Amino acid sequence: MVETIYALASGRGRAGVSVIRVSGPQALHSLTRLSSLGDNLARRTAHLTTLTNPVSRETIDKALVLFFESPNSFTGEDVAEYHVHGSPAVMEELLACLDAQPNHRAALPGEFTRRGFENGKMDLTEAEAVNDLINAQTQLQKLQALRQLDGGLKQLYEGWSERLKKALAYLEADLEFPDEDDAEGVSREVYPVLDDLMHELREHLSDNRRGEILRDGFQIVIIGAPNAGKSSLLNVLAKRDVAIVSDIAGTTRDVIEIHLDLNGYPVILSDTAGLRPDQLAEESGHDQIEAEGIKRAIKRAGEADLKILLYDGAQKEPDPYTLSMIDENSIAVVSKADQDIQLEYGAPLLQISSKTNQGIDQLLKLIGEKIKERIGGAESVSLTRVRHRASLEQCYQALERSKQAELPELLVEDVRLAIRHLGQITGRVDVEDVLDVVFRDFCIGK
């Protein structure tokens, strides 16, 4: 027997209104027990009712309730929604009363969405989009999640799958009736489909990871010598006092991360320990903690989408370790522009001051351009997870193999495999093992 699940669907804590959602075969039963409504109440309509504790007969709250009858609900099951006053006492009593109802239990993380998927209300990419939308911090993240929730990725992958299925049907017919063997038919009907698809897959995959970066955040790291002014810059960009600033070289040790919304792009900005690689040598007298900080800084710089190389304007020589990190994903900047800049550098550099804010707007503009260059707007659908990428790569490889297959049976097998890999993304094939991964990072009530 399918259990009926319940959970607080809105945020925790006090609120004007909180929503508790109940889904499963007994949802109507518990609703009629707790409310004064009969079981023929109008569907998808708000009803004002008094909720009563069936044991003590005490009032739980005055509430607005809605009932959605299977299959016309988010989960595809019978669903009841209780809109109650968002008070901890109301919540505690209502949840306890629900728990006492037959076959009711608290929902697991992501369980409502998972039931929606299992009942065919959405495919896996749409289920993932529910979570992305809930977690969206910026407008562009939100747009990307909405597009995916609207079936953007599903339509793309199912469209590809349909085309492959047609080619597969042709190949199977060809195997079935070898007498009418028509080798030309295969090269006419099948190979162009495989070629086109491989081309489209390549295009889709060589997207600079834009969908993933938009979902996870664009990683920027500030790198420079000790005392260059890295932590001061982080604080200015964060508009708050996050990192400790001092004139002692080697102040920052751990990587300090802040989240920024830059024109709708989610940015994760990290401040790091000043690069002083002589500290890395394992001699006595060297500070092990600082050495560890420097290792972390270098590692983070390697993973970042963009590096801000900060040169100390009070020094004459640019720091050689910072210099060695220049590449196409870096912006070089000079600090302490409010003082006389001592630095002699081959090319003109953007000068900034964390004291007067000089150059900060230009720096933000430069960063914005770099991000845009890398991930563009959110105008087309992009894959948003490593999981999608891995299956698409496998699909591509299967198609590549199919084209080299020497026997028609092998060609058929590879095309079947390619379809299977696409099906794993949308959840159209048996994906038990994928499900736990997909729903793991949901929170309860979703």
Ligand X SMILES: Nc1nc2c(ncn2[C@@H]2O[C@H](COP(=O)(O)OP(=O)(O)OP(=O)(O)O)[C@@H](O)[C@H]2O)c(=O)[nH]1
- Near ligand X in 128-187, by CB under 6 A: none
Contact between 23 and Mg ion per CB under 5 A = no
The span from the CA of 150 to the CA of 141, in Å, is 14
Q: According to the binding rule CB under 6 A, does residue 362 interact with ligand X?
A: no
Per-position x/- string for 187-226, each x denoting binding to ligand X as judged by CB under 6 A, each - no binding:
-------------------------------------x-x
Going by their DSSP bridges, the two strands 47-52 and 59-68 should be labelled as antiparallel
Q: How many residues bind ligand X (CB under 6 A)?
A: 24
Strands 350-351 and 265-271: unpaired
Report d(CA 49, CA 65) in Å as an integer: 7
Q: Does 339 bind ligand X (CB under 6 A)?
A: yes
Least separation in angstroms between residue 287's CB and Mg ion is 15
Q: How far apart are CA 312 and CA 306, in angstroms?
A: 19
| CB-based contacts of 157, cutoff 8 Å, min separation 6 | 125, 422, 425, 426
The nearer residue to Mg ion, 252 or 402, going by C-beta atoms, is 252
Site string for Mg ion, 178-217 (x = CB under 5 A): ----------------------------------------
Task: For ligand X, give the closer residue by CB, 308 or 422.
Answer: 308
List the one residue out of 93, 81, 23 whose CA is nearest residue 53. Answer: 93
One character per residue 221-250, x = contact with ligand X (rule: CB under 6 A): ---x-xxxxxxx------------xxx-xx
Residue pointed to by tokens 């409310």: 35
Q: Is 270 in the site for Mg ion (CB under 5 A)?
A: no
**Nearest distance in Å: CB 369, ligand X:** 23
354 counts as binding ligand X under rule CB under 6 A: yes
In the complex, least distance from residue 224 CB atom to ligand X, rounded to whole angstroms: 6
Give first-to-last CA distance, the chain, whole Å.
Answer: 22
Shortest spacing between CB 256 and ligand X, in angstroms: 10
Cβ count within 10 A of residue 332? 19
231 near Mg ion (CB under 5 A): yes
Does residue 270 bind ligand X (CB under 6 A)? no
Angle at 117 between CA 116 and CA 120, to 5 degrees: 90
Q: Which residues fall within 8 angstroms of residue 287, CB to CB, at 6 or more apart?
A: 250, 279
Per DSSP, the residues of 328-378 read TTEEEEE--TTS------SS--EE--TTT-TTHHHHHHHHHHHHHHHH--S
Binding of Mg ion by 335 (CB under 5 A): no
Instruction: Tell me: does residue 353 bind ligand X (CB under 6 A).
Output: yes
Question: Minimum distance between the CB of residue 231 and ligand X, rounded to whole angstroms?
Answer: 3
Site residues for Mg ion, window 233-252 (CB under 5 A)? 251-252
Query: Does the footprint of Mg ion cover residue 232 (CB under 5 A)?
Result: no
3-state secondary structure (DSSP) of residue 207: coil
Task: Write down the least CB distance from residue 308 to ligand X, Å.
Answer: 11
Least gap, CB of 319 to Mg ion (angstroms): 14
Q: Which residues contact 94 (CB under 8 A, 6 or more apart)?
A: 20, 34, 51, 60, 61, 82, 84
Q: Does 76 bind ligand X (CB under 6 A)?
A: no
Residues found near Mg ion in the complex (CB under 5 A): 230-231, 251-252
